[in-house]
Amino acid sequence: MQDFTQGPIGRQIIKFATPIILGNIFMQLYQIIDSIIVGQILGKEALAAVGASMPVIFAIIAIVIGLGSGASVVISQYFGSGQNDKVKLTSDTLHIMLLVAAVIIAAFGITFAEDIFRLTGLPEKIIPQATQYLQVYLAGAFILFGFNSLSAILRGIGDSKTPLYFLIATAFINVGLDYLFILQFNWGIAGAAWATVAAEAIAYFGAIIYINKTHEILKINLLKLKFDRKIFYQCVRYGLPTGIQQSFVAFGAIALSVIVNPFGTDVIAAYSAAYRIDNLAVIPAMNFAAALSSFVGQNIGAGNIYRVKKALRFTLLISSLTCVAITIVITIFGKPLIAMFTDDANVIDIGAQYLVIVSSFYILFNVMFVLSGMFRGAGATFVPMIITFIALWAVRIPLAALFSDLFGVVGIWWAIPTGWLVGGILSLAYYKKGNWRTKSVFHI
């Protein structure tokens, strides 16, 4: 556990953010390796199927991710104010929420998987593999939610190293199971999904054992969880806007897929590979924002508004420098990165084109996301939700549809940073207005 309410701000942000960044890099790396194995062994149709599944999975679980984020804000603020009994009760309430949500989401996704892909206009030859992958993945929904919630809870009390260790273990287990299930058992694309579910199950139950031995205030007994209605409403209050915001992002990704899919298998496969690299590249910005959110939550709880502002300035600086470095690397090595997934020259060219265009504007994404992380930590989640809606649905998606008609698939890629630009401008305007100060559990 780490107390962010005192001590050197820059060192605390970096020390806390580094394990989160490394952990998510490992998570994205094993997903990338998963796609590389699928693409190289099962072919570009299977690679396209996995890529098509990702936005759908994100859309189905987005609300739950938001509720977990809301619970993390509540935990960090209670921890910052010294109310450890409320920290434990929030953890229990979150687990009950996610168990119920997992059952509902798994039932829905497994039942309607094929219909969902048909609605997105996915080519007919890709739908069977995409359906199979999605159904297996969602069969492990509770495992997925449970592990992510434990990570959020630990980060809320200042422990970012433990999730890193479990994510590293998960990465190695997942890769090993990929080879076992795909190459040895010949389970095809379902084997890739089962490998992910099994690896996360090992990490989830391992994390429960660890927490029960080391964190008395968070001790978890899945058969004796306590539900608190007031805390549930607090989690919903902070988490639902974030969940809706995530849903906007997720359904925006699906809408973008609907625009991409008519361009055929090569473009879908290229987008799938580039999207994996893209997700890896934005990890520093996203996780500096996550670290800032926990830092802000504790300091809002303790009434230290001056530390919040200093932390925001430092986080924007360090994450922006990181984005510039990543942009340079991706611009130089775009084609070799896509070539890891496939030997198809056309797919490589299309994917590299996406990376060069989109990565050139990562700094815009960084500004928008870091500010959103600060707002979440302060409990101000409604306005970022609106900003995300505008950036995606009033800017990115309409422009992607328009530009794809005018300029072809390259027009879709240019619409992405345009949305970031609008989102960044609106986020800065809201920060300057200052209303985010009044949205916490403890008004300051």
Give me the count of residues in the chain.
444
Residue 219 predicted with pLDDT over 90: no
Q: How confident is the model at residue 300 (pLDDT cuts 50, 70, 90)?
A: confident
**What integer is the mean pLDDT of 183-206?**
92
CA–CA separation, 36 and 428 (whole Å): 38
The tokens for 212 are 């029960």
**What integer is the mean pLDDT of 261-276?**
91
CA–CA separation, 252 and 9 (whole Å): 35
Residue 440 predicted with pLDDT over 70: no
Percent of the chain whose pLDDT exceeds 90 = 37
CA–CA separation, 302 and 299 (whole Å): 5
What pLDDT, on the 0 to 100 scale, is given for residue 63?
Answer: 73
- The pLDDT tens digits of the residues spanning 357-369 come to 999 999 999 999 9
What pLDDT, on the 0 to 100 scale, is given for residue 423?
Answer: 94
Percent of the chain whose pLDDT exceeds 70 = 98
Residue 442 predicted with pLDDT over 50: no
Residue 443 predicted with pLDDT over 50: no
Do residues 61 and 141 lie in contact, with contact meaning Cβ atoms separated by under 8 Å? Answer: yes
Which is it for the CA torsion 17, 36, 246, 226, positive or negative?
negative
Residue 4 predicted with pLDDT over 60: yes
Average per-residue pLDDT for the chain: 87
Residue 275 predicted with pLDDT over 60: yes
What pLDDT, on the 0 to 100 scale, is given for residue 326?
Answer: 92
Model's pTM, two decimal places?
0.74
Say which range, 30-44, 64-78, 411-425, has the weakest mean pLDDT: 64-78
Do residues 312 and 347 lie in contact, with contact meaning Cβ atoms separated by under 8 Å? Answer: no
The tokens for 352 are 């590299």
**What integer is the mean pLDDT of 82-105?**
87
Q: How confident is the model at residue 35 (pLDDT cuts 50, 70, 90)?
A: confident
What pLDDT, on the 0 to 100 scale, is given for residue 1?
Answer: 55
Task: Answer with the residue of higher pLDDT: 39 or 3.
Answer: 39
- The pLDDT tens digits of the residues spanning 153-179 come to 887 777 778 887 888 888 889 889 988
- Amino acid found at 12: Q
As a whole number of Å, the end-to-end CA separation of the chain is: 24
Residue 444 predicted with pLDDT over 50: no
Say which range, 9-18, 240-249, 270-279, has the weakest mean pLDDT: 240-249
Say which range, 1-5, 33-37, 369-373, 409-413, has the weakest mean pLDDT: 1-5
CA–CA separation, 417 and 392 (whole Å): 10
- Amino acid found at 169: A
Question: Taking Cα atoms as reference points, which of 25, 20, 45 lies closest to residue 35?
Answer: 45
Task: Answer with the residue of higher pLDDT: 351 or 56.
Answer: 351
Residue 101 predicted with pLDDT over 50: yes
Domain boundaries, the chain: 9-438
Residue 90 predicted with pLDDT over 50: yes
CA–CA separation, 233 and 253 (whole Å): 29
Residue 97 predicted with pLDDT over 70: yes
What pLDDT, on the 0 to 100 scale, is given for residue 437?
Answer: 67
